[in-house]
Amino acid sequence: MKIEIVEGCIGDIFEIDGKNILDCTLEKLKDALDKATKYALSIADESKMYALQEAIRTLTEDFGEYQGTDEPCDCCGDFIDTYTLEV
């Protein structure tokens, strides 16, 4: 399986086996994610820790449960967002 991303000028491409990712079936996307994850884990070392952290963050935010506060924090004014993924 070949996953390719080309960015720049007018040549933006994101493909799996030569097919635009937007045209891929759910099963094709799941298969590509599974293979890409297995490959990444097989070569990951200390130099790739940030990439692993970011992948886990993205999965947690996109597939986990979300809870947000309705009122801002009294101290700083921020709203608090919590994402939880139990696997």
For the residues 67-71, what does the mean pLDDT come to? 94
Rounded to an integer, the average pLDDT of 11-21 is 94
pLDDT for the residue 85:
96
What b/e string do you get for 52-84 counting C-beta neighbours within 10 Å, with b at 16 or more? eeebeeeeeeeeeeeeeeeeeeeeeeeeeeeee
Q: For 26-37, what is the mean pLDDT? A: 97
**Residue 24 pLDDT > 90:** yes
What's the whole-number mean pLDDT along residues 46-67? Answer: 97
pTM: 0.81
What residues contact residue 67 under an 8 Å CB cut-off, 6+ apart? 81, 82, 84
As to burial, measured by CB atoms within 10 angstroms (0-12 exposed, 13-18 middle, 19+ buried), residue 21 is middle
